[in-house]
Amino acid sequence: MAKKKFSKEWIMQHINDPYVKLAKEKGYRARAAFKLTEILDSEKLLHINDVVVDLGSTPGSWSQIVSERLAGAGGTLRGRVIALDILPMEPIHGVEFIQGDFREDEVLSQLSQLVGNQQVDLVLSDMAPNLSGVGIADAARIQHVCDLALEFAKDHLKPDGALIVKAFHGTGFSQIVESFKTVFTRVVERKPKASRDKSSETFLVARNLKASVLAGRVESGN
């Protein structure tokens, strides 16, 4: 009974959510579009001709925002957007999409090949693992997803590039932050207005790769 009541409350909250309504008005696929919009604006990220990788992209609202901002006259994309998700995603004009599990080496290799020698300006990760409700297990899953995004950024970001990752306050969060600080010179936490108050989700915005990371990249030939 409690589960049914919670479900009904969630549905009512979702229906009455102003960001859900606004997303429908603007044609965005999810309210998450406004989370990214606020972060991009506050951090002054994303510029014409940027190369962007969107991890965990489905249903596609973040890729929508990026492609919209990179669109020039006639809708031509002035830049590049590569999206990836384990689930299918309806096509978005100008966005290159890979369907696969980012945790698998084969899929990661496919993404790396698509990026090629181009250095990436911005890596986005709205990925979230399926949570079990067991704190220690969930913390490990969340950290693993964040680590994958971090490793990809280490290999492919421009020196002054940025990484935006969704994380969750709780067990293991401080360790995730510390791991980001070993790679980037600036790491800040952002809780966009579109994030629900009850949600523990927090976005980490990391910028500018440290010299030690760049030196390691040269040594490895990346």
User: Residue 79: which CATH number?
Assistant: 3.40.50.150
Question: Residue 62, annotated ligand binder?
Answer: yes
* Residue 22 placed within a domain: no
Asked whether residue 3 is domain-assigned, the answer is no
Catalytic residue, chosen from 4, 166, 193, 210, is 166
**Cα(53)–Cα(174) distance, rounded to whole angstroms?**
25
Consult the annotation and say whether 101 binds a ligand. yes
Decide if 83 contacts 60 (C-beta within 8 A). Answer: yes
Establish whether 85 is an annotated binding residue: yes
Q: 18-23 long-range contacts, Cβ below 8 Å, gap at least 24?
A: 19/194, 23/61
Count of domains observed in the chain: 1
Residue 14 lies in a domain: no
- Rounded Cα distance between 84 and 150, Å, is 15
Closest alpha carbon to 164 in 30, 48, 66, 21: 66
| Amino acid letter, residue 200 | S
Assess whether 158 carries a catalytic annotation. Answer: no
Contacts of 130 (CB under 8 A, 6+ apart): 141
| The pLDDT of residue 4 | 43
pTM metric for this prediction: 0.89
Which residues does residue 55 pair with via DSSP β-bridges, in sequence order?
A: 84, 125
In a domain, 7, yes or no: no
**Would you say 126 is a known binding-site residue?**
yes
In-domain check, residue 116: yes
Residue 25 in any domain: the answer is no
Q: Is 104 part of any domain? A: yes
Q: What b/e readout covers 129-158, taking b as 16+ CB neighbours within 10 angstroms?
A: beeeeeeeebbebbbebbebbbebbbbbbe
Q: Is the Cβ–Cβ distance between 209 and 154 less than 8 Å?
A: yes
Measure CA of the first residue to CA of the last residue in the chain; give whole Å: 55
Tens digit of pLDDT at every position of the chain (222 positions): 334 445 665 455 656 678 888 888 898 999 999 999 999 999 999 999 999 999 999 999 999 999 999 997 777 899 999 999 999 999 999 999 999 998 898 998 999 899 988 999 999 999 877 766 666 877 888 899 999 999 999 999 999 999 999 999 888 899 999 999 999 999 999 999 988 878 889 999 999 999 999 998 877 766
Say whether 121 counts as a known binding-site residue. no
Which structural domain, as residue segments, surrounds residue 187?
A: 31-220
